[in-house]
Amino acid sequence: MKISVKYAVTGALSGAANGFFGAGGGLFLVPLLISWCGMEQKRAFATSVAVIFPLCAVSAVIYWLKGGLPIAQAVPYLLGRRRAGRKVIRQGKGRLAAPRVRRADSLRRRPCRPAAVSAVLAVAIGLLTGILSGFGIGGGSLLLLYLTLFEGTGQYQAGGINLLYFLSCAPAALISHRKNGLIEREAVKCCVPTGVVTSVLSALLAARVDTDLLRRAFGVVLLYIGVKETFLRKK
């Protein structure tokens, strides 16, 4: 099979995961670039960032249009200021909010904890997520788990927030990777077109799927990848 075809298939799979879950594209992309396409590990990580960035941009638009990206809620999370986020949400009149908020997400109960603890957790998770996202793998999944398990955010909205977060931290990593000559341009050219198509389709599908089903599906995907990389990876 031609390498260009492998890149195209890899991009399509990554886009499907990225659009459906709002995260996880790199978890598919990096292993496939390394094991299936024979790319060097450092280049795979760097190329992953270059591929995922446009896929996240397209998916974020769909999530916003479908009510999965309340920007007024997302921005304070990105800044690590959860108390400010609550204030913005209470005072916001919709100019920064998504056109339509999914009711199933908005009804989820948020855990009660001291504001200082929430602020420290948000900053710590934000820093760790940014570092992992710069490598091209794992950052989005970590943030998604934090938002859904510890902040009580609905799965679809958490995916939208994560997409916006990646878009904010990826440019710095892209500049560094490009400066070091680690991005495989041929892979980007082949992965992005197919990835964009599957990102749009899967993001539209995710908007119609029950949030609990999304959460379970994402958990199954993480479990599969974890088991595969830990126990089934060839030495």
Cα(24)–Cα(214) distance, rounded to whole angstroms?
13
- Enter the pTM of the model: 0.74
Instruction: Report which residue type is found at 8.
Output: A
> Is the pLDDT confidence value at 55 over 90?
yes
> Is the pLDDT confidence value at 84 over 50?
no
Report how many domains make up the chain: 1
> Which of 2, 7, 5, 1 is CA-nearest to residue 184?
7
pLDDT at 106: 43
Contact 205, 17 (CB under 8 A): no
- What is the overall mean pLDDT for the chain? 76
pLDDT in tens, 125-167: 555 555 555 555 556 677 787 788 877 888 888 898 888 888 8
pLDDT at 92: 38
pLDDT at 104: 44
Give the Cβ contact number of residue 207 at 10 Å: 17
Structure tokens at 34: 């390394």
pLDDT at 50: 94
Decide which of 121 and 160 is more confident.
160
Q: What percentage of the chain reaches a pLDDT higher than 90?
A: 32
- 7-11, 184-188, 205-209: range with lowest mean pLDDT: 205-209
Residue 45: which domain range? 3-232
Average pLDDT in the 168-179 region? 86
Burial of 186 (0-12, 13-18, 19+ CB in 10 A): exposed
Confidence of residue 102 (pLDDT cuts 50, 70, 90): very low
